[in-house]
Structure 1
């Protein structure tokens, strides 16, 4: 006999995940990556550079500039948040940590919004499990909470979330507001004030974070789905969905007024390599949510493929995933666009949990156990090798890939890593040793393994990652080749992240090279300098050193010193200056 829903869940299967355990688990995932590290290369340090310029009052708040260059992302709110935090932070708080505090809260808000969005989707009548003939089926509220727990765990388990969600970039603000809009759209049939306020904040936040087109597409798409659905599905609240469309249009007008519309369409080229790269991105970035989401689409296909749009608990996350996937295929920053799909994809994955057989659940558990235990073992072995020299091969590989790195022992990160490993051992013992009826049990090990691997990287490997992924080593090389007080330093061809790095790590007084510049020293990008007529053995500048990042030679730069114009420079004086 055909069932109205594929979910057959008894009340024993919706055992609640302890709130304290869930809270501690989320904190263990959020804090590593924000604490104790330097700003990393590219987008992380670049965004911090714009924040610092705003906090110093060196640029216009409505058009932030860094080194005379506007932001590549037409965003305002991420820079404002960091700048406000820098201005309000007490003196004992380091600038980089102060700028990260709002983004820590944004990640927490994204986790909360994902849980509540999944919860309200699971409250939908079409999402409820099959009613038993003699009772005993899961109660609606308990069932929705269990599904929401599974959705949050699936969200944390996504491999692509770890790094991008811990950087102070517009991508994190977009993720937060996309998750908030997801919650607002899911909660519309049940609440009015909170979802309405959340929708307004989310659409405004997406618009000011550089994604007005995403905001418009998600808002109008959600409205359309609710208007097409029967009245019973939306509890006669379609007028709220119309308000969502109105808010979307208002934000579109605001984006036009602030000149935030920038169409950077970059369609994939017709070559196999690019499509393979995109395919790999979709596979690993959304793992392990995407296999579960596909299983959901198959098992809930009756609710999806009908002409009455009764399965809004499925169509809403499908629309959010579709919009983010389309942006991934048509924008240069594919990974940051795909990040916006993760909350809705995790919700889709959660609806697979009540339909999994015991054998499939065991397969997920064993795969997560082997994969993440292997990752943790590799992290520990490399760390032990760097500390003791045994085994020798990992330490030799580190020395070859990251020349100049000198590892040291830190007690507190070591203790945290040991504690996390012991918790992982206990979690594996709990999951393998006892049969748990809770439907969220199949995503406990994937989420716990992802959190463990990220925490170990951010404790045991943090000095190595800081050395390899920050510009601090390169800035140190450059400043060591100049006098202690070089005065103003001219720049030529440096990108935004390099300028921000020199301002943060060295406090140099940088000026863009022009005809009126009188600086004694010049830092130039190697490609730009090789084409500049005054720098190719010209009479003004003399090349002193060619250097680059120890772990990434493509960041190579040239350091020049201004020649004396009035008198010839004696050989001895030149040698001392060098």
Structure 2
């Protein structure tokens, strides 16, 4: 039973500020980070700059695996914004994808909460929550649960194919959830979601979602949902055709399923899906008598397929990412039944955990610019900054960080000063804490983090030994991220297809653990500032 006062919605301005504080930090002022973020940008830049065809993105001649659709999006953005930095231009449509994921999760939870089986029990003398108000309140909770998910924090802000896959899965979830109320929109959502998912590198997941979704629709009591069965099968056929045409089929199952691998996956699940996984389990327990209802069964199956895929892929966090929208929706249905003690524990854990991290970030920032206390900056230099890093001050970053910290203090005071009745109250502090920490990292600590995570310092060290007018630089057996840095940050022409014995390049780059081939001499040994061991050798033909 849910009282009318508990079904109040989160103020729209506050909800928009939550989303802005989560999406916008990290969009500006940074280089692509190793490894997947940088290599994906390299494929996009290769298309945009004409060094690789649209149909086959490649870095230094090494083709991309999976479908090319994610790289087309980034390349089109780079070409559409020639006046902007290429990395920022490629990142912009992916930020819009993250916004769409948040919107689709909100509407998926909203439509599922409107079904009869999901509605709370009416009071004997009235005063219960109205259906639409109840659905809005749960939808706000689902959005906050997704923002609070730790696994989405970094991967959701990268420029990688997995974010387009996440959008496709969210679109699929919305299509099935909204079918009884928005049949036309649902059909188009389903028809587009699975081909996009397959063309982004996850065709097997797309086919599994197609077949299981068709089974779910076939057994539904809603006529509009049953009519969606053929659309799901058609979408699955389009997904298979697009994967075949884009050569996106690949065998990614790693090894055999054993106890050690299962334990590693459970460990990944424990932190990656926090706090939605315990709330999802609570939902399954409290709604166990209604588990066949579409508001439980649909998100449950949509979460289990990526989870099974992650296990089969050896505990892949990027496969597990696709389960977060469904888990967030499932977690929202725990809110009406969440006991006060559990909610209080979540609140106080969030207050202490995120406040401690906030204090730590501010101490490192003060140490970086004022030198007091000395220990935090000393630890940063030991971790990888070295002596090359010079802190740079940004007044805008400082103002944003101060405002975010003040907003966190106000949020904590609001939540703990009096008893709140809104259903989503238990997720305000977890979501606010994640958004706060991400904003502080991307403002106060962005310069040192960018220095450590990007390949920019490596490229600057290489410039002293690799002439800009070299005919080309041979770099066989190097990672895609390193090749992308050489080609699109260093502006060298790179040959990664030929061995050092067969290349025509005048200079070369190889790992210092490899033997120096005959006919080459060592110019210098270069490493990233953050590398404690390993590095590269710059070679030249005598």
TM-score by shorter chain over 0.5? yes
Counterpart of 1:549 in 2: which secondary structure?
Answer: coil
Counterpart of 1:559 in 2: which secondary structure?
Answer: strand
Matched-pair contact (CA < 8 Å) for 1:121–1:187: yes
Counterpart of 1:458 in 2: which secondary structure?
Answer: helix
Instruction: Report the Cα offset of residue 355 of structure 1.
Output: 0.4
Report which stretch shifted further, 482-491 or 76-85. Answer: 482-491
Matched, 1:65 2:58: yes
**Quick one: which of 239, 247, 252 aligns to 2:235?**
247
Matched, 1:81 2:67: no
Q: Distance in 1 between matches of 2:75 and 2:208?
A: 30
**Quick one: which of 316, 325, 331 aligns to 1:343?**
325
Q: Distance in 2 between matches of 1:434 and 1:221?
A: 45
Q: Kindly tell me: are residues 108 and 554 of structure 1, through their superposed partners in 2, closer, same or farther at Cα, counting changes over 3 Å?
A: farther
Counterpart of 1:221 in structure 2 is 212
Alignment of 1:105-144 (within 5 A): 105-144=96-135
**Quick one: which of 10, 14, 25 aligns to 2:18?**
25
Matched, 1:298 2:298: no
Counterpart of 2:421 in structure 1 is 437
Segments of structure 2 that go 5 or more residues without pairing to the other structure are none
Counterpart of 2:310 in structure 1 is 328
Q: Distance in 2 between matches of 1:516 and 1:355?
A: 68
- Segments of 4+ moved more than 6 angstroms: none
Q: Distance in 2 between matches of 1:484 and 1:56?
A: 18
Matched-pair contact (CA < 8 Å) for 2:114–2:131: yes
Q: Distance in 2 between matches of 1:517 and 1:237?
A: 60
Q: Distance in 1 between matches of 2:114 and 2:299?
A: 14
Q: Distance in 1 between matches of 2:163 and 2:224?
A: 35
Q: Distance in 2 between matches of 1:554 and 1:161?
A: 30
Report which stretch shifted further, 341-350 or 214-223. Answer: 214-223
Q: Distance in 2 between matches of 1:364 and 1:374?
A: 15
Counterpart of 1:207 in structure 2 is 198
Instruction: Report the Cα offset of residue 553 of structure 1.
Output: 4.2
Q: Between Structure 1 and Structure 2, whose CA radius of gyration is higher?
A: 1
Counterpart of 1:354 in structure 2 is 336
Q: Distance in 2 between matches of 1:484 and 1:282?
A: 46
Alignment of 1:401-550 (within 5 A): 401-402=383-384, 403-404=386-387, 405-483=389-467, 485-512=469-496, 513=498, 517-527=503-513, 529-530=514-515, 535-536=516-517, 538=518, 540-550=519-529
Q: Distance in 1 between matches of 2:104 and 2:141?
A: 14
Matched-pair contact (CA < 8 Å) for 1:86–1:95: yes
Instruction: Report the Cα offset of residue 224 of structure 1.
Output: 0.8
Counterpart of 1:266 in 2: which secondary structure?
Answer: coil
Instruction: Report the Cα offset of residue 171 of structure 1.
Output: 0.8
Instruction: Report the Cα offset of residue 486 of structure 1.
Output: 3.4
Q: Distance in 2 between matches of 1:453 and 1:115?
A: 23
Matched-pair contact (CA < 8 Å) for 2:487–2:493: yes
Q: Distance in 2 between matches of 1:223 and 1:129?
A: 28
Report which stretch shifted further, 8-17 or 62-71. Answer: 62-71
Q: Distance in 2 between matches of 1:150 and 1:163?
A: 21
Counterpart of 1:575 in structure 2 is none
Q: Distance in 1 between matches of 2:452 and 2:421?
A: 45
Alignment of 1:163-178 (within 5 A): 163-178=154-169
Counterpart of 2:143 in structure 1 is 152
Q: Distance in 2 between matches of 1:522 and 1:271?
A: 44
**Quick one: which of 554, 558, 561 aligns to 2:537?**
558
Matched-pair contact (CA < 8 Å) for 2:67–2:243: no
Matched, 1:48 2:41: yes
Q: Kindly tell me: are residues 416 and 301 of structure 1, through their superposed partners in 2, closer, same or farther at Cα, counting changes over 3 Å?
A: same
Instruction: Report the Cα offset of residue 235 of structure 1.
Output: 4.5
Counterpart of 1:381 in structure 2 is 363
Matched-pair contact (CA < 8 Å) for 2:472–2:495: yes
Q: Distance in 2 between matches of 1:160 and 1:246?
A: 32
Counterpart of 2:524 in 1: which secondary structure?
Answer: strand
Instruction: Report the Cα offset of residue 547 of structure 1.
Output: 1.9
Instruction: Report the Cα offset of residue 555 of structure 1.
Output: 5.7
Instruction: Report the Cα offset of residue 482 of structure 1.
Output: 3.2
Segments of structure 1 that go 5 or more residues without pairing to the other structure are 1-7, 564-578
For the aligned residue pairs, the C-alpha RMSD in angstroms reads 1.7
Q: Distance in 1 between matches of 2:533 and 2:484?
A: 18
Instruction: Report the Cα offset of residue 175 of structure 1.
Output: 0.7
Matched-pair contact (CA < 8 Å) for 2:264–2:315: no
Q: Distance in 1 between matches of 2:4 and 2:183?
A: 30
Q: Distance in 1 between matches of 2:533 and 2:326?
A: 37
Matched-pair contact (CA < 8 Å) for 1:267–1:329: no
Q: Distance in 2 between matches of 1:399 and 1:58?
A: 38
Counterpart of 2:443 in 1: which secondary structure?
Answer: coil
Counterpart of 1:316 in structure 2 is 298
Q: Distance in 2 between matches of 1:436 and 1:507?
A: 57
Q: Kindly tell me: are residues 508 and 370 of structure 1, through their superposed partners in 2, closer, same or farther at Cα, counting changes over 3 Å?
A: same
Matched-pair contact (CA < 8 Å) for 2:521–2:540: yes
Q: Distance in 1 between matches of 2:449 and 2:86?
A: 20
Instruction: Report the Cα offset of residue 295 of structure 1.
Output: 0.7
Q: Kindly tell me: are residues 53 and 236 of structure 1, through their superposed partners in 2, closer, same or farther at Cα, counting changes over 3 Å?
A: closer
Instruction: Report the Cα offset of residue 455 of structure 1.
Output: 0.5
Instruction: Report the Cα offset of residue 246 of structure 1.
Output: 2.3
Counterpart of 1:215 in 2: which secondary structure?
Answer: helix
Q: Distance in 2 between matches of 1:180 and 1:415?
A: 36
**Quick one: which of 347, 356, 372 aligns to 2:354?**
372
Instruction: Report the Cα offset of residue 269 of structure 1.
Output: 5.5
Matched-pair contact (CA < 8 Å) for 2:219–2:226: no
